[in-house]
């Protein structure tokens, strides 16, 4: 399978006045086509920094990130938008945007200066709407739908952007179990049937273990990328939280609390 994104000896962190603060060093991550990959780690461990670095928002301290065989920092903005789409945690500003218009904005990297949609663009938008199963709400305003629906709409927008890599920052937060599972399954379906590479950060570790093809686990000492069963064998999950009250039960595949 083709590598969509990989990093080479990547060090992530941020610049401060006193010098560089390094969060993780020597990362060699490989993201393949058709895989659903989850990124997990405790709060404040640096998940956002990692995501910001591999989406090109933040420059790496050292090393390089390659997206479709090209250094991510050498992409032209519009070209990058044709290769990478994102779903962010931030709230949308107030506006009258309808669901359809919101999804259609995903075509911006392909339209002309005035944003005119060609028949092909409209086809891609409709396709994205059908894949995410949001046909019923496309005429509603984006503030009229539930959080669960909104996440699907944002995924549809990313799909309309027609990139082979989609990165989502904690898309399952604020959702109830039903909507969490349904979003997980949607992402799983998209990666399996459309051949997309989907990477997302989450705190729903139980779900991630059951549903993702690979996991990237961030702990204080190291970052590992493996498939979930291997990670359980390796006992990585016990080191996830530095808390003696939380123990990972390898047989049941979930966390127990003392």
Partner 1 sequence: MANKKRNTLLFFLLGFGLLALLLINISFGSVTIPFKEVIKSLTGGQASKSTWEYIIINYRLPKAITAILVGMGLSISGLLMQTLFRNPLAGPYVLGLSSGSSLGVAFVILGASIMPAFLSSFLLSSYGVVIASTLGSFTVLLLVLLVSQKLRDTMAILVVGLMFGSFTSAIVGILTYFSSAEQLQKFTFWSLGNLGNLSWLSIVILTIAVSIGLLMSLVCIKPLNALLLGENYARSLGLNFKKTRLIIIFATSILAGSITAFAGPIAFIGLAVPHMAKLLFQTSNHFILYWSTLLIGATIMLICDVVSQMPGLEVTLPINAITSIIGAPVVIWLLVRKQKIVS
Residues that bind partner 1 (CB under 8 A): 55, 57, 77-82, 84-86, 88, 90-98, 101-102, 105-106, 108-109, 111, 113-115, 143, 161
What are the residues facing 101 on neighbouring strands?
none
57 versus 229: smaller Cβ distance to partner 1: 57
Closer residue to partner 1, CB minimum distance, 157 or 180: 157
- Least gap, CB of 39 to partner 1 (angstroms): 18
End-to-end CA distance of the chain: 42
Q: Cβ closer to partner 1: 28 or 135?
A: 135
Give yes or no for a contact between 82 and 34, defined as CB atoms under 8 angstroms apart: no
CB of 48 to partner 1, least distance (A): 12
In whole angstroms, what is the distance from residue 47 CA to residue 41 CA? Answer: 7
Q: How many helices (H) and strands (E) does the chain have?
A: 8, 13
How far apart CA 203 and CA 158 sit, in angstroms, is: 21
Residue recorded with tokens 């392909």: 110
| Of 199 and 231, CB closest to partner 1 | 199
Here the tokens at position 258 are: 């003392």
Q: Who contacts 213 (Cβ-Cβ below 8 Å, separation ≥6)?
A: 35, 36, 37, 191, 227
**CB of 140: closest distance to partner 1 in angstroms?**
12
């Amino acid at each position: 399978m083709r590598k969509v994104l990989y990093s080479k000896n990547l060090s992530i962190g941020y610049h401060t006045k006193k010098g560089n603060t390094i969060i993780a060093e020597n990362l060699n991550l490989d993201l393949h086509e058709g895989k659903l990959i989850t990124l997990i780690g405790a709060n404040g461990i640096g998940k956002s920094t990692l995501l910001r670095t591999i989406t090109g928002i933040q420059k790496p301290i050292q090393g390089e990130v390659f997206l479709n065989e090209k250094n991510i920092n050498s992409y032209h903005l519009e070209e990058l938008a044709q290769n990478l789409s994102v779903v962010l945690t931030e709230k949308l500003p107030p506006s009258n945007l309808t669901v359809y218009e919101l999804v259609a904005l995903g075509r911006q990297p392909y339209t002309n200066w005035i944003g005119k949609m060609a028949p092909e663009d409209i086809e891609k938008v409709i396709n994205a709407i059908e894949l995410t199963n949001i046909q019923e709400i496309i005429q509603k305003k984006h503030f009229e739908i539930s959080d669960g629906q909104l996440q699907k709409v944002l995924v549809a927008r990313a799909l309309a952007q027609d990139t082979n890599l989609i990165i989502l920052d904690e898309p399952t937060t604020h959702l109830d179990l039903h909507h969490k599972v349904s979003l997980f399954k949607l992402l799983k379906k998209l990666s399996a049937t459309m051949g997309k590479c989907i990477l997302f950060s989450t705190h729903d570790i139980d779900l991630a273990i059951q549903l993702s093809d690979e996991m990237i686990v961030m702990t204080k000492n190291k970052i590992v990328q493996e498939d979930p069963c291997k990670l359980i064998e390796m006992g990585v999950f016990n080191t996830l939280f530095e808390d003696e009250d939380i123990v990972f039960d390898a047989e049941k595949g979930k966390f127990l609390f003392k």
